[in-house]
A and B are shown apart, each in its own frame.
Chain A
Amino acid sequence: MLSMEKAGKEGTCQQSPSQNHWNLAMDIKRVKDYIYWLYYQYLLITCSYVLEPWEQSMFHTITVTVFAMVLYTAYVFVPIHIRLAFEFFSQIFGVQPDSTVSVVN
């Protein structure tokens, strides 16, 4: 099966333009199948594969909610923390701190 696939991939490079629509459909199908495979791996790793459908919905809701909250917190707080950390470490390594003293004439 693998060798057939590889031959198919090289074969598609020399297709005539009229068959490109078919190749595009096949590729979209492949991407969709890959996403489904990722979902299946997620089900297996979290052991929610064994749950009944209503339990799965509950588990997915909770997981997605927690994940969304984590993303939002990261979006709000991570740039600020990175900037503070950068200033702290540059202070340690001998670079002069940004001086707030200005020459007043």
Chain B
Amino acid sequence: CILINHFFLCNGNGLSSLADIFLDFVPLYQDFENFYTRNLYMRIRDNWNRPICSVPGPQFDLMERVTDDYNWTFRFTGRIIKNVINMGSYNYLGFAETDPNALKTVTKELQKYGTGICSTRQEMGTLDKHVELENLVAKFLGVEDAMVFGMGFATNSMNIPALVGKGCLILSDELNHTSLVLGARLSGATIRIFKHNNMQSLEKLLRDAIIYGQPRSRRAWRKIIILVEGIYSMEGSIVRLPEIVSLKRKYKAYLYLDEAHSIGAVGATGRGVVEYFGMNPDDVDVLMGTFTKSFGAAGGYIAGKKGLVDFLRTHSHSAVYATSMCPPVAEQIIRAMKCLMGLDGTTQGLQRVRQLGKNTRYFRRRLHEMGFIIYGNDDSPVVPLLLYMPGKIGAFARRMLEKNIGVVVVGFPATPITESRARFCVSAAHTREMLDTVSTDVLLKLTSDAKGAGRSCVSVTLNLSNSFFTFVFLVLSLDL
């Protein structure tokens, strides 16, 4: 009777005073996420948060971790697993490197400026490096002006509230990243979701928004903004930019394009999805991107018309309260971008982009030939391999680590629970041999018998009929 009372009263908002009285009882109502975390995630937890101890290049070193009590606690043995092939880091163009020649300018700037800024952009944190970087980003993308921020996630979540507010409408894709969702929720605007990359769904929402206006007062929306990403990180699919731009023009909405994974990775010269589709950067109202993925640094940018960027310089939370990008990181982005644009005198940037394209196509073709289910566009360097059963995530990641390959596997909160996947990120720094090792290893592990089961070192036949015919042959040869 006490328990039933507790159940009814502590549902929803909960009465904290009653909850304190019943501290000894296990609460009857705990949501599915807690259940999942306690019972499934804890058992396969050793596949995430693995500390690395080298630069995340095409190969890296892992610290070895063991657990004595089934993943509730971990301890480090002190050994380091060397030269694990890295299929998980967002290192698309291979700029995460420690080659001293490449990092000459970065070292110089480090010695000149130190590491800390100790201020926000508006107070005393704007360096000449930031101005140089912003001009370079604007030139790279072909827009009027750009502004850079210290952190990619914060760029989205702090700037969307500055651009939209109450009375505005946000149309966001089903599978948008958490930073976009957080920014949209913080802004206080009305959010409507359209199906992933589905133009009919988007058009229907736009028409309904314009015909019916705001929910109760039927007034026109102050602003309608469409939030999409260039490449979706869990699907590998590329946005349908030409159709979205034509819809936006027809219904007079604004477009916010988050090119976190696509800047530097797609396009003939690495300028993102806008170049991939051959469109004009002026078609997109707000171009946002991050430097974490293709440039080997940290931070984000927002680019567009000068009026927009000037507005953000004064009204963005990130500019007012967050520290700005630190100078060596800014210099790393500058040198990576100059390399991409060819301004340093070599064709190394273009070679990297071409190598990434070749690696992507080769890897996707190999995995497809082996019969795995791969999502996404053929040109995107993010390759999700579907594993469907949640039990297979742990098995897959552990087996890959035994073979010295580090992968990122994704399970429930980020994807639907029955569509777990392993996500490979192809890099321009991967050699053909590394990609062959990964795809052949994956082939052997998942389709062969004893080696996959890990029991013996002899590889077994791939299906029963083969071994049956062999047996028959043997018996016949015995007779002969």
Contacts and interface: CB of A to CB of B under 8 A. Distances in A.
Do A and B assemble together?
yes
A61 interface: no
B313 interface: no
Given A49-B394, A50-B394, A34 B474 contact: no
A62 interface: no
Interface string B459-480: 1111010110011011001100
Contacts of B70: 52
B474 A50 contact: no
B281 interface: no
Contact of A20 (B390, B395, B452, B474): B474
B134 to A, nearest CB: 49
B457 to A, nearest CB: 11
B460 A13 contact: no
Interface string A31-42: 101101101100
B391 A27 contact: no
A13 B477 contact: yes
A12 B470 CA distance: 9
Residue among A31, A47, A49, A50 with max Cβ neighbours from chain B (10 Å): A50
B456 A15 contact: no
Residue among B449, B452, B459 with max Cβ neighbours from chain A (10 Å): B449
Contact of A12 (B389, B390, B474): B474
A45 to B, nearest CB: 6
Interface string A45-74: 111111110000000000000000000000
Contacts of B473: 9, 12-13
A84 interface: no
A39 B473 CA distance: 27
B94 to A, nearest CB: 30
Contacts of B450: 30, 33, 36-37
A48 B389 CA distance: 11
B182 to A, nearest CB: 31
A20 B478 contact: yes
Nearest to A51: B43
A95 interface: no
Nearest to A26: B458
Interface in B423-465: 444, 449-450, 452-453, 455-456, 458-462, 464
B392 A44 contact: yes
Q: How large is the interface on B (under 10, 10 to 19, 20 to 34, 35 or more residues)?
A: 20 to 34
A47 B453 CA distance: 15
Interface in A1-30: 1-2, 5, 9, 12-15, 17, 20, 23-24, 27, 29-30
B173 to A, nearest CB: 31
Nearest to A23: B474
B470 A33 contact: no
Contact of B474 (A2, A24, A37): A24
B389 A44 contact: yes
B449 A33 contact: yes
Given A5-B461, A12-B470, A46-B391, A33 B477 contact: no
Contacts of A51: 43
B453 A37 contact: yes
A41 to B, nearest CB: 9
Contacts of A20: 474, 477-478
Interface string B331-364: 0000000000000000000000000000000000
The 10 closest A-B pairs by CB, nearest first: A47-B391, A33-B450, A37-B449, A50-B43, A40-B453, A33-B460, A49-B391, A36-B453, A37-B453, A33-B449
17 contacts: A1-B459, A2-B462, A12-B470, A12-B474, A13-B473, A13-B474, A17-B478, A20-B474, A30-B460, A33-B455, A34-B449, A34-B467, A44-B391, A47-B389, A47-B390, A50-B43, A50-B394
Interface of B: 40, 43-44, 70, 389-392, 394-395, 444, 449-450, 452-453, 455-456, 458-462, 464, 466-467, 470-471, 473-474, 477-478
Given A5-B459, A12-B470, A37-B460, 10 more contacts: A12-B474, A13-B474, A13-B477, A17-B478, A34-B467, A36-B449, A36-B455, A45-B391, A47-B391, A50-B43
Interface of A: 1-2, 5, 9, 12-15, 17, 20, 23-24, 27, 29-31, 33-34, 36-37, 39-40, 43-52
